[in-house]
Structure formats: C-alpha cells, structure tokens
Structure 1
C-alpha cells in the first residue's frame, strides 16, 4: 500500500505549501515530510501493512507562515488500512476554523 496526501487551503483558495506531515503507527514515526508547492506529499510511504495509522498535519506552523490565525495547531487523521495492495490518498481541506478529510484515490 502506498500513501499520499494533499492539503488545500480553503480560506486562501490555493494549495497549502509547507505543511509538516508525520505518519505514525503505534506511537512510532514511520515517515515525515512537508507539502510541496502543489500542497502534496506524493509518497509519504511506499509500503504499509494492514493496520491502524495516523497522519499529523502541522497546521499551526502553516497558519503562522501565511499570516492566518488558526484554531487548530494540528490536525490528526486516524485511519485503518485493510487492503495493503491499494493506494491510499488522504486529502485535507483546511481553513483556520474548520477542516475536512476523506479517502481519495
């Protein structure tokens, strides 16, 4: 299973560049990165077995860098991989006072 993510800033209407992203399983850090100019981390992980994971997005640093005052210093998305052969894409739609996520393709 490969894993990617994409962060869009809904308040500014553009990709969120420079968001710190950390992938964890059972409290262990498996990978770290930050979003590129298109708001993406194209390959956060190449192969992951079935199980429970979480992605932490460092939104506080992003908001500070873009002169926005945000309510959420970080966003944590927990998810379960049931099919290790499938690519998983976890997008984050972000604004200073709300966020949403879903399983993308």
Structure 2
C-alpha cells in the first residue's frame, strides 16, 4: 500500500525519471487536526522518479497524520522539489532553485498523485490518477 499522497517527477531534458531528487511534503493548514502547521515529510525520488512513501516525522506517518482530519475536510499541502541543486549536480544550470506545488486534498477521497515534468527552464504539473 502506498502513501495517500505520492508524486512522480520526469526530467524533460533527457526524457527520463528524475531519480534521487529531494522532495518535501509540508502541511500548510492543520484544519481540525492537532497537527502543527509546517509539519514536513521528506523523501527522495526512486529510480523511477517516484515517491511512494514519505519518511515519518517522529512517530507520525503521513497516513496517521491524515487520520487526524475529519472526513471530507479540505487540507492544503505543498510539495517542494530541490530542482536547482539536482540539475547542478548533473552539470546543468537551472533557472529554478526549487519547484513548489501547492494543492488541496480531501480526507476520505481517493489517493492523490502529483506528477511534475521538470526542466532547468520550465516545469508543469497536474492532478494525476
């Protein structure tokens, strides 16, 4: 079983997955939960450019964090990808130091997948399935 929020990053320069890219998932509003605004889960994309699971924050997993919200509650999250350093490690200068995607999820709805196509001069994203 994967996390309730996953992502997939593709490098548009090479047309390949963006493997080993640092990603951060941050809670932007705690809503009805007792969670702290700004709580951030970390991950690194796998060889397929995907994050299927986020590292826990202490003993709190993303799944247990989502359980603290009311069914149907709209929750704002943000995913930040460290694009600049990632491209620089590959000898490419990037216009973007990072890509920051903010979005809503509703507790109790289906899984949320956030794909991102990145390049050193452009990026695009959409709600995946």
| TM-score, with structure 1 as normaliser | 0.90
Q: Equivalences for 1:22-33 in 2 at 5 Å? A: 22-26=24-28, 27-33=37-43
Q: Which has the higher strand share?
A: 1
Q: Are residues 1:18 and 2:20 paired?
A: yes
After superposition, the C-alpha distances for 1:81-101 in whole angstroms (9 at most, x for unaligned) are 124331000011001100000
Distance 2:116 2:105 in 1: 18
Report the number of matched residues.
Answer: 105
Secondary structure of 1:32's counterpart equals strand
Q: With CA pairs under 8 Å and 6+ residues apart, which has the higher RCO, 1 or 2?
A: 1
After superposition, the C-alpha distances for 1:46-92 in whole angstroms (9 at most, x for unaligned) are 35343111011111121011111110010000001124331000011
Match for residue 61 of structure 1?
85
Maintained 8 Å contact 1:19/1:61:
no
Match for residue 101 of structure 1?
125
Q: Equivalences for 1:39-54 in 2 at 5 Å? A: 39-44=49-54, 45-46=62-63, 48=66, 49=69, 50-54=74-78
| TM-score, with structure 2 as normaliser | 0.74
Where in structure 1 do 4 or more consecutive aligned residues deviate above 6 Å? none
Maintained 8 Å contact 2:21/2:82:
yes
Secondary structure of 2:53's counterpart equals strand
